Amino acid sequence: MKINKQKLLSIIKKFHDKKILVVGDIMLDKYVWGEVERISPEAPVPVVDVKKETQNLGACGNVAYNIVSVGAKAYVVTVVGNDLYAEEIKNMLLSRGINIDGVFSDNTRPTTVKTRIIAQSQQIVRVDKESRVQITASLFEKIRNYIEDIKSKIDGILISDYGKGVITKSLLSYLIKLSKKLDIPITVDPKIEHFMEYKKVTVLTPNLNEATQGMRLHKKPKTEQEIYELGKKILRKLNPEALVITRGPDGMTLFEKEKIYHIPTRAKEVYDVTGAGDTVVALLTLSLTAGADFVSGCEISNFAAGVVVGKVGTATVSKEELEEVIKNHAD
């Protein structure tokens, strides 16, 4: 399928005045970088000599950062704990020009933190600090009231569900109804726990594992035909306007009511796939608010993900990088 570069570039030019409501779990992605030269005398484990530590916004924070990185605006609605990590997240959001009025604190839960220990470019272990308990009814009311206050400003809704308790049936139902009322797109980066609740959204963007487990299949489809059957089954069951199954190095497959499109990966080199799904759903949502059809939106998000996986850690793509990679693409 030949790419219409001018069409994609004209869509990207409309990003600057778009505002996306990003609702979901947020986390701090911490990285401890070091070297291993010996085994501990205390246990048969490597001793990491730490050289540096870095951190990034993860989950819906990374989604929001992907949105502002290409010149648009993001309103984040999420929940953090009442701890130092929460303050770090708020400061990182503010430093990226992201409003924090929708970041709510919950004294009963920790802020989600994922710490990856990496030596010689190899991840040795990941340490997670989190709660998966659903938010309370009172917290849901605060979130709903905040969204009601800003709903006239938004052009699209993006749900970033990482299964940490922010996305509940009540919140999902409210957001889907709101999108219909406002006549704006609503996209979902899903988790398997709530898979059957994402009904009648604009676009659902699971990876192949999430699509498989969400439909309660016992084994992951391997052939193109099996993947096509899985996609059509999800369309029938959840009735989104479109479904995008991301497939890592095999690109992505777009399912519409009557058509199926396969879009190959645009990555030249792959260093780290962390956060690539965030990039896909962020750029796809933005593209739809800028008037793109589903195929063009997928092409733009696919190019963006191709840039991001060429960077180490949770990363984003700039508007200039995105335009450049599209202009230089050889059909």
Supply the residues annotated as catalytic: 278
Return the number of other C-beta atoms located less than 10 Å from residue 104's C-beta. Answer: 17
Task: Please say whether the beta carbons of 192 and 182 come within 8 A.
Answer: no
Picking from 301, 203, 208, the residue whose alpha carbon sits closest to that of residue 247 is 208
- Does residue 69 sit in helix, strand or coil? helix
Measure the CA angle with vertex 193, ends 29 and 201; round to 5°.
95
Task: Please say whether the beta carbons of 283 and 300 come within 8 A.
Answer: yes
Helices (H), the chain: 5-12, 60-69, 84-95, 137-150, 169-182, 208-214, 224-238, 276-289, 294-308, 319-327
Torsion, Cα 136 159 242 300, to 10 degrees, reads -170
Measure the CA angle with vertex 42, ends 38 and 46; round to 5°.
30
CA 66, CA 57: separation in Å to the nearest integer? Answer: 10
Picking from 258, 223, 229, 227, the residue whose alpha carbon sits closest to that of residue 242 is 258
CA-based end-to-end distance of the chain: 9
C-alpha 40, offset from chain centre: 38
Residue partners of 220: CB distance under 8 A and separation at least 6: 208, 209, 212
